[in-house]
């Protein structure tokens, strides 16, 4: 489905899940330079009051953004993207956590040739990114 000026508000564009495990956290830490022990050390994370090791907020935001640009097919169509970090993503060891991303048309501005895509990003049904919205160019 392509996003056009005729696309109706409320239309679901995509829905996907991404598995996050501790190895992914380590790779992200290396790429970002963020080696805060809350992202890899269980003892430290719980000592500072967290429920366990948590994913980097920017990793979670990036997962949602990548889901959107994958759906768009052309990352150059992404005009802006922002969110609020509302809940930590706890990553078990061993195992993984599934981050669910759903994109819905929030508004269409045919005159400007853009649309707002509202992203719902959740883990086990609990929203982890708030006010996650992107503005994209229409096809």
What sign does the dihedral 10-16-19-25 (CA atoms) show? negative
The answer to whether position 5 is within a domain reads: no
Q: Which DSSP letter does residue 31 get?
A: H
Query: Where does the pLDDT of residue 51 fall: very low under 50, low under 70, confident under 90, or very high at 90 and above?
Result: very high
Residues 118-132: tens digit of each pLDDT: 999 999 999 999 999
> What local confidence, expressed as pLDDT, does residue 57 receive?
98
Residues 14-33: tens digit of each pLDDT: 999 999 999 999 999 999 99
The answer to whether position 114 is within a domain reads: yes
Distance between CA 50 and CA 44 in Å, rounded?
9
The answer to whether position 6 is within a domain reads: no
Count of structural domains within the chain:
1
The answer to whether position 2 is within a domain reads: no
The answer to whether position 49 is within a domain reads: yes
CATH number at residue 37: 3.10.129.10
Residues 75-94: tens digit of each pLDDT: 999 999 999 999 999 999 99
Q: What is the pTM assigned to this prediction?
A: 0.95
Question: Residue 98's domain spans which residues?
Answer: 12-137
């Amino acid at each position: 489905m392509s996003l056009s000026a005729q696309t109706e508000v409320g239309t679901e564009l995509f829905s996907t899940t991404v598995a996050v495990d501790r190895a992914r956290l380590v790779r992200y830490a290396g790429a970002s330079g963020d080696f805060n022990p809350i992202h890899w050390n269980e003892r430290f994370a719980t000592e500072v009051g967290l429920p366990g090791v948590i994913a980097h907020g920017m990793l979670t935001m990036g997962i949602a953004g990548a889901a959107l640009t994958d759906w768009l097919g052309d990352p150059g169509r992404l005009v802006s993207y922002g969110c609020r970090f509302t809940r930590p993503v706890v990553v078990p060891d061993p195992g993984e956590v599934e981050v669910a991303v759903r994109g819905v048309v929030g508004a269409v501005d045919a005159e400007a040739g853009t649309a707002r895509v509202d992203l719902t990003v959740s883990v086990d049904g609990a929203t982890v990114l708030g006010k996650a919205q992107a503005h994209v160019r229409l096809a």
